[in-house]
Amino acid sequence: MEYSYYPGCTLTGSARELDESFRSVAAKVGVSLREIPDWTCCGASSAHMVDAFLETALPAKDLITAERMGKDVVAPCAGCHVRMKAASKKILEDKDFQARFPFKGEIKVLSGLEMLHEKEILAGIKNSVTKPLEGLRVVPYYGCLAVRPPEVVEPENPENPMQMDRILEAIGAEVLRWPYKTDCCGGSMALTRTDLVLKLSGKILDMAVLVEADAIVTMCPMCQANLDTRQADLSRETGKTYRMPILYVTELIGAAFQDPNVRHWLGKHMVSAESVLARKGLI
């Protein structure tokens, strides 16, 4: 099975552990990822706020290249996925954009979760587990961009998505029910409204603690960075102690595969999950 691969800016910088773990998981289950040559920034998260043409033109270049490669394209970053999906719909629906960008819509634009949830790949993940994550209590956090806007993202269920739940269950983790699967963490307002960011992030972290989760699991680099880095500020502001690991689902798949790079990936987070996983005998 082969896909064209769009890592995007974040996965080559602050979320490099998502890129590395995603590639590793793909290789383990027999998926070939062909990185789009000479890819460029998709414009997330600012282009669509300032320039209606640029928000489509930036992803269009990579969509055209991926279509020429002849393979569906996967974008693990939730922000990149939304921008590529939005651009593909705009081009196909607008004659002016069709005239400028020769994208025909002959390929699918998949999120990282959608690819991992493909029937054959999910079966491969389950069959490749060497250390089931038994006893690890997790809450799946999809965030905003995995399900919104629904007319662009086209999620299976915008109110109660289940793809990450099923992936986590396939590697043996205990998936807890909680009400904040798709609530906003405020990540896009990190610089403009820190007060709201702390309020929204604190609510999510408090609920994860309340249901006695060992970790919050996501696929969104913005959500991961926001929830991971805000805990020290929240601790100072509230007097509570926040030490909730925020992990990428691919890192946990790697742990279930006993990938030797897991500790390296976990070491990139502000709140370490090593002690939690080690205490449960998972690394």
121 domain residue, yes or no:
no
124 domain residue, yes or no:
no
pLDDT-derived band at 171, boundaries 50, 70, 90: very high
One domain for residues 135 and 272:
yes
Residue 90 clears pLDDT 90, i.e. is over it: yes
Number of domains in the chain: 2
Sheet of 2-5, strands arranged across:
32-35, 2-5, 73-75, 109-111
Q: How far apart are CA 188 and CA 15, in angstroms?
A: 16
What kind and span of H or E run contains 73? strand 73-75
| Long-range CB contacts for residues 195-199, cutoff 8 Å, separation at least 24 | 197/226, 197/230, 198/230, 198/233, 198/234, 198/237
25 domain residue, yes or no:
yes
**Whole domain around residue 252: which residue ranges?**
130-279
- Looking at 113, 147, 181, the residue that finishes a domain is 113
One domain for residues 100 and 134:
no
pLDDT-derived band at 187, boundaries 50, 70, 90: confident
**Please, are residues 16 and 251 in contact by the beta-carbon 8 Å criterion?**
no
164 SS3 class: helix
Tens digits of residue pLDDT in 228-245: 999 999 999 999 999 999
- Looking at 113, 139, 168, the residue that finishes a domain is 113
Sign of CA dihedral 111, 117, 118, 123: positive
119 domain residue, yes or no:
no
- The CATH number linked to 99 is 1.20.1050.140
118 domain residue, yes or no:
no
What kind and span of H or E run contains 274? helix 274-279
Tens digits of residue pLDDT in 102-144: 999 999 999 999 999 999 999 999 999 999 999 999 999 999 9
One domain for residues 61 and 174:
no
Q: How far apart are CA 220 and CA 187, in angstroms?
A: 10
Mean pLDDT of 174-184: 97
Q: How far apart are CA 108 and CA 219, in angstroms?
A: 19
One domain for residues 135 and 267:
yes
**Per-residue DSSP letters for 169-187?**
HHTT-EEPP-TTTT----G
Taking every pair of Cα atoms in the chain, the longest distance, rounded to a whole number of angstroms, is 58
Sign of CA dihedral 245, 248, 249, 255: negative
Tens digits of residue pLDDT in 2-58: 999 999 999 999 999 999 999 999 999 999 999 999 999 999 867 766 788 999 999
- Which candidate, 176, 170, 175, 174, places its Cα nearest to that of 257? 170
